[in-house]
Homo-oligomer: A and B are copies of this chain.
Amino acid sequence: MPEPLITWHGEVPSEWTDYNGHLRDAFYLLIFSYATDGFMEHIGLGEAQRETSGHSLFTLECHLNFLHEVHQGAEVAVHTQLLACDHKRVQLYHSLHIKGETLTLAASEQMLLHVALDGPKAVPFQDSMAAHLADLARQHSKGPKPEWTGRMIGMPKAIK
């Protein structure tokens, strides 16, 4: 089984916590957003390349599951798997952990679109990047099966 790809790690600062001293929902997503930046660096779509190519990834859609509270000062890390890709999109799975531990504290499935910033308009990946992504998706499919994917929000027996 391959080592997880760690796309962000750091300490939870007080500005990200609520009245209760716990990470606020939006700041779980900020951590995952930084992890997406880390993934982009990893595949060669980081800040320097963005400035050269004028290309970037925009988040189209995301799903989040909040599984455990995270306290101020916690040392956390994000593991990222590339679930799938096509000529202009990547589907990512991020999971949040206490650094060095396996328990999933939160998870996010995301769909991102490759864009030329001067539109902005959707553009295909260059051939070399597309091949690299397809290879990465194959490698990541050998990792642990992600738990929190393909989910739809719904209430059983809703009172309306």
Measured CB to CB, the residues of A under 8 A from B are 19-20, 24-27, 29-30, 32-33, 47, 50, 56, 58-66, 69, 83-86, 89, 91, 109-111, 117, 120, 134, 137-138, 141, 149-160
Contacts and interface: CB of A to CB of B under 8 A. Distances in A.
Contacts of A24: 30, 33
**This chain's copy number in the assembly:** 2
Given A25-B33, A86-B155, 4 more contacts: A24-B33, A60-B66, A63-B64, A110-B153
6 A-B pairs with the lowest CB-CB distances in the bound complex, closest first = A84-B158, A26-B30, A26-B29, A25-B59, A84-B155, A26-B33
A69 B121 CA distance: 12
Best-surrounded residue of A64, A137, A156 (most CB of chain B within 10 A): A64
A112 to B, nearest CB: 10
Contact of A155 (B32, B89, B120): B89
